[in-house]
């Protein structure tokens, strides 16, 4: 049977509508699982001594990356907090927005523990598959690697789009098998992959532009209130922007999954039962 053609306008309308209809519950879940962990990590990064170079000078990406890695290693517990919060928060928000019975926060949270292991397995597998082109490119001779580099990013983005419904299949389709969920995501996105890729690239670019403009304005306002206030305020704003972006992406995932799946897919053999 031919796959449905995705209506991105409908997906956006449904996503924003379901967030609006559940904004209080979504705010609680996003605040606990996304905003607080991201705020802690971003505050640690903003408060670090990373040297981005003098104004007007060309930054050294390798040196900056090394410094950022050192800061992240020193604050490993904050990185772990973000990873766990994103995993649990994604499961909770997907379950909340994808359940037409409008469950309570308590009912949603009861479902999260049994979803964590399958979601973690899926995240690892999807990460390995999507990063495989980069790994293989690194094994090539320097000349061949430079040529292959032009195709690595498009292939990585394509694979990311093909597997982006994996979590929705696990949470909403009640499949506990990460591999089966990945196969289902591949099938559901068939004939809509490039449409999804263009939409998410446009959404990400728009979010970056809006975020940068707002960050400049808020940064100027906060700078007048003192260094410590500006540090905390900028970290809170950045965490709020990231949390909002993730929440919107979860809502879009629910809407797109509903459009592309004819019905709730049957549960596969539980790999983690």
List pLDDT tens digits, range 40-65.
988 888 877 766 555 445 666 677 77
- pLDDT confidence of residue 253: 94
Query: Can you tell me the mean pLDDT for 194-203?
Result: 89
Is residue 4 over pLDDT 50?
yes
Residues ≥6 apart with Cβ < 8 Å to 260 = 3, 4, 6, 165, 188, 189, 192
Query: Can you tell me the mean pLDDT for 260-264?
Result: 66
Burial class (CB in 10 A: 0-12, 13-18, 19+), 225: exposed
The residue behind tokens 């509508």 is: 17
Query: Can you tell me the mean pLDDT for 7-20?
Result: 89
List pLDDT tens digits, range 20-41.
988 899 999 999 999 999 999 8
The residue behind tokens 């928000």 is: 93
Least reliable range by pLDDT among 1-15, 114-128, 137-151, 193-207:
137-151
pTM of the model: 0.85
| Cα–Cα nearest to 172, from 267, 269, 248 | 267
DSSP string, the chain: -PPPPP-HHHHHHHHHHHHHHTHHHHHHHHIIIIIHHHHHHHHHHHTS-----STTSPP-HHHHHHHHHHHHHHTHHHHHHHHHHHHHHHHHHHHHHH-TT---HHHHHHHSHHHHHHHHHHHHHHHHHHHHHHHHHHTS-HHHHHHHHHHHHHHHHHHHHHTTTHHHHHHHS----HHHHHHHHHHHTTTTHHHHHHHHHHHHHHHHHHHHHHHHHHHHHHHTT-HHHHHHHHHHHHHHHHHHHHHHHHHHHHHHHHHH-SSPPPPPPPS--
Q: How far is the C-alpha of 7 from the C-alpha of 27, rounded, in Å? A: 27
- pLDDT confidence of residue 45: 84
Q: How far is the C-alpha of 94 from the C-alpha of 178, rounded, in Å? A: 16
Could you state, in order of their start, the residue ranges of all structural domains in the chain? 8-260
- pLDDT over 90, % of the chain: 41
The pair of three-digit structure tokens given for residue 193, joined into one six-digit string? 């992959």
Q: How far is the C-alpha of 30 from the C-alpha of 24, rounded, in Å? A: 10
The pair of three-digit structure tokens given for residue 224, joined into one six-digit string? 């007048």
The pair of three-digit structure tokens given for residue 110, joined into one six-digit string? 């009861």
Residues ≥6 apart with Cβ < 8 Å to 38 = 82, 85, 238, 239, 242, 243
Query: CA distances (Å), 42 to each of 8, 48, 159, 215, 246, in order?
Result: 32, 10, 29, 14, 16
- pLDDT confidence of residue 138: 75
- pLDDT bucket at 94, cuts 50 / 70 / 90: very high
The pair of three-digit structure tokens given for residue 170, joined into one six-digit string? 């696990």
């Amino acid at each position: 049977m031919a796959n449905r053609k995705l209506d991105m306008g409908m997906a956006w309308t449904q996503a924003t509508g379901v967030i609006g209809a559940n904004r209080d519950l979504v705010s609680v879940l996003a605040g606990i699982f996304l905003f607080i962990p991201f705020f802690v990590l971003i505050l640690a990064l903003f408060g670090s001594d990373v040297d981005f170079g003098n104004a007007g000078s060309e930054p050294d990406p390798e040196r900056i990356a090394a410094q950022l890695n050192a800061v992240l290693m020193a604050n490993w517990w904050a990185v772990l907090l973000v990873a766990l919060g994103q995993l649990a928060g994604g499961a909770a928000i997907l379950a909340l927005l994808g359940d037409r019975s409008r469950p309570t926060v308590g009912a949603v949270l009861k479902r999260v523990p049994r979803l964590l292991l399958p979601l973690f397995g899926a995240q690892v597998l999807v990460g390995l598959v999507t990063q495989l082109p980069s790994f293989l490119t690194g094994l090539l001779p320097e000349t061949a690697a430079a040529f292959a580099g032009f195709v690595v990013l498009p292939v990585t983005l394509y694979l990311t789009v093909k597997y982006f419904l994996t979590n929705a299949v696990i949470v909403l389709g009640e499949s506990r098998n990460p591999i089966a969920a990945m196969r289902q995501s591949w099938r559901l996105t068939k004939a809509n992959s490039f449409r999804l890729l263009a939409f998410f690239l446009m959404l990400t670019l728009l979010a970056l532009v809006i975020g940068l403009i707002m960050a400049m304005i808020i940064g100027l306002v906060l700078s007048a209130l003192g260094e410590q206030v500006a540090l905390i305020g900028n970290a809170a704003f950045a965490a709020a922007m990231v949390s909002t972006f993730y929440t919107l992406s979860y809502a879009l995932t629910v809407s797109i999954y509903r459009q592309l799946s004819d019905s709730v897919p049957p549960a596969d053999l539980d790999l983690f039962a």
